[in-house]
């Protein structure tokens, strides 16, 4: 991995997402300053990062010298001003509260150098609203990661109405430099891309259990040992493209009626009442003999293994060109 063009990064907010960002920036060769108004939370994040590096050493996936380099690249900041001083990128991972973020943005904007970019880890909020009234709103963008970003590379990028297009371009380039996979949203929609698609699948999964069609294990098996095996390597459109001899046009033409019928039936009114949540919990507990921490550790190891497999066996050549848009007749 080449050294990134932005050398110094501030991580503001050191919860589960913030601490994972520390690992992303450090391994890319950035200097990282970590700040949280709760010093205990900041120290907890740094302790997590140290354990993470030790785990990589035990697994043999990180050499001692590299682990030492990553650890020495990260430091605790006592104040917000110390964190953002000289930073070219600020990754904000504060609570999902518009007022908290907006107040922090005013502070960061006043402290940050003129070329610095501020990126928010928000999972659902529009940057136009978050940066409202901030003098330097031109350099604010959404950079929403998938949890945990040090293992899953997708980052959803969304500009606000006041964002300078150059900021977005620089942000996308930097995210690629540090090994992430930015995807650009053309406009705001609640939940962005990933969470909307996830919510649609979860809604149907919950309804299938709640309506008595199947149990939790059956639903999870369909994803884990069925759809998920394809989706780890191909998205829904690429999958459709391989499901018919001549590709996606044949597939969606042949099965359009079936899809339309299914879509019309996906009108669940199921809601998460306490009884349903407890039932889902009991069934999920029955699937696992391991603790949640052990499940999470296994999940992380498997994600790393799949990413390694994909890196060693890359997909056939992909076009980087955007499809040509057909001209449309002007409206009357």
1-31 pLDDT tens trace: 678 999 999 999 999 999 999 999 999 999 9
The pLDDT score that the predictor gives to residue 190 is: 93
User: Rounded to whole angstroms, how far apart are CA atoms 290 and 71?
Assistant: 31
Q: pLDDT tens digits for 112-141?
A: 999 999 999 999 999 999 999 999 999 999
Q: pLDDT tens digits for 75-116?
A: 999 999 999 999 999 999 999 999 999 999 999 999 999 999
Flag whether pLDDT at 332 surpasses 70: no
The pLDDT score that the predictor gives to residue 128 is: 97
Pairing of strands 140-145, 154-159: antiparallel
**Average pLDDT of the chain?**
93
What mean pLDDT is predicted for residues 137-160?
97
The pLDDT score that the predictor gives to residue 325 is: 43
Report the C-alpha dihedral over residues 12, 18, 21, 25, rounded to 10 degrees. Answer: 30
Query: By the 8 A CB rule, do 76 and 101 touch?
Result: no
User: Rounded to whole angstroms, how far apart are CA atoms 152 and 24?
Assistant: 10
User: Rounded to whole angstroms, how far apart are CA atoms 191 and 199?
Assistant: 9
Sketch out the chain's domains with CATH numbers.
Answer: 8-184 (3.40.50.720), 194-312 (1.10.1040.10)
Flag whether pLDDT at 323 surpasses 80: no
What mean pLDDT is predicted for residues 252-256?
95
> 227 pLDDT band (50/70/90 cuts)?
very high
The pLDDT score that the predictor gives to residue 175 is: 98
What mean pLDDT is predicted for residues 313-326?
64
What mean pLDDT is predicted for residues 32-41?
97
Q: For residue 303, what are the CA distances in angstroms to 92, 153, 185, 239, 310?
A: 25, 11, 25, 20, 11
Query: By the 8 A CB rule, do 109 and 135 touch?
Result: yes
What mean pLDDT is predicted for residues 245-272?
92
Q: pLDDT tens digits for 170-226?
A: 999 999 999 999 999 999 999 999 999 999 999 999 999 999 999 999 999 999 999
> 53 pLDDT band (50/70/90 cuts)?
very high
> 321 pLDDT band (50/70/90 cuts)?
low
The pLDDT score that the predictor gives to residue 2 is: 79
The pLDDT score that the predictor gives to residue 71 is: 97
Flag whether pLDDT at 167 surpasses 90: yes
Helix (H, G, I), strand (E, B) or coil at 296: helix
> 326 pLDDT band (50/70/90 cuts)?
very low
State percent of the chain over pLDDT 90: 87
- The structure's pTM equals 0.88
Q: What angle separates helix 64-72 from helix 16-27, to the nearest 10 degrees?
A: 120
What mean pLDDT is predicted for residues 136-148?
97
The pLDDT score that the predictor gives to residue 320 is: 55
State percent of the chain over pLDDT 70: 95
What mean pLDDT is predicted for residues 227-240?
93
> 324 pLDDT band (50/70/90 cuts)?
very low
């Amino acid at each position: 991995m080449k050294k990134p063009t932005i050398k110094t990064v501030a991580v503001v907010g050191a919860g589960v997402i913030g601490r994972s960002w520390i690992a992303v920036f450090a391994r890319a060769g950035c200097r990282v300053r970590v700040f949280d108004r709760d010093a205990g939370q900041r120290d907890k994040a740094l302790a997590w990062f140290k354990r993470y590096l030790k785990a990589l050493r035990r697994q043999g996936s990180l050499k001692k010298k590299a682990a030492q380099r990553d650890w020495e690249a990260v430091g605790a900041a006592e104040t917000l001003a110390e964190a953002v001083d000289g930073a070219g990128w600020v990754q904000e991972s504060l609570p999902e509260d518009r007022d908290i973020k907006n107040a922090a943005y005013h502070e960061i904007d006043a402290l940050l150098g003129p070329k610095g970019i501020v990126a928010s880890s928000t999972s659902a909020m529009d940057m136009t609203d978050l940066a409202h009234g901030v003098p330097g709103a031109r350099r604010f963008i959404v950079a929403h990661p998938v949890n945990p970003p040090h293992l899953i590379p997708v980052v959803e990028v969304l500009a606000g109405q006041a964002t300078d297009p150059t900021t977005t371009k620089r942000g996308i380039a930097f995210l690629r430099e540090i090994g992430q996979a930015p995807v650009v949203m053309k406009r705001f929609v609640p939940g962005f891309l990933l969470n909307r698609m996830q919510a649609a699948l979860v809604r149907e999964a919950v309804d299938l259990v709640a309506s008595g069609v199947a149990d939790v294990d059956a639903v999870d098996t369909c994803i884990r040992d069925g759809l998920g095996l394809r989706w780890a390597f191909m998205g829904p459109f690429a999958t459709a493209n391989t499901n018919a001899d001549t590709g996606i046009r044949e597939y969606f033409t042949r099965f359009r009626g079936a899809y339309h019928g299914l879509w019309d039936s996906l009108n669940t009114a199921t809601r998460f009442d306490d009884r349903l949540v407890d039932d889902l919990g009991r069934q999920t507990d029955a699937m696992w003999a391991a603790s949640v921490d052990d499940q999470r550790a296994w999940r992380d190891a498997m994600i790393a293994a799949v990413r390694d497999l994909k890196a060693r066996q890359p997909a056939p050549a992909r076009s980087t060109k955007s499809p040509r848009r057909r001209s449309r007749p002007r409206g009357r």
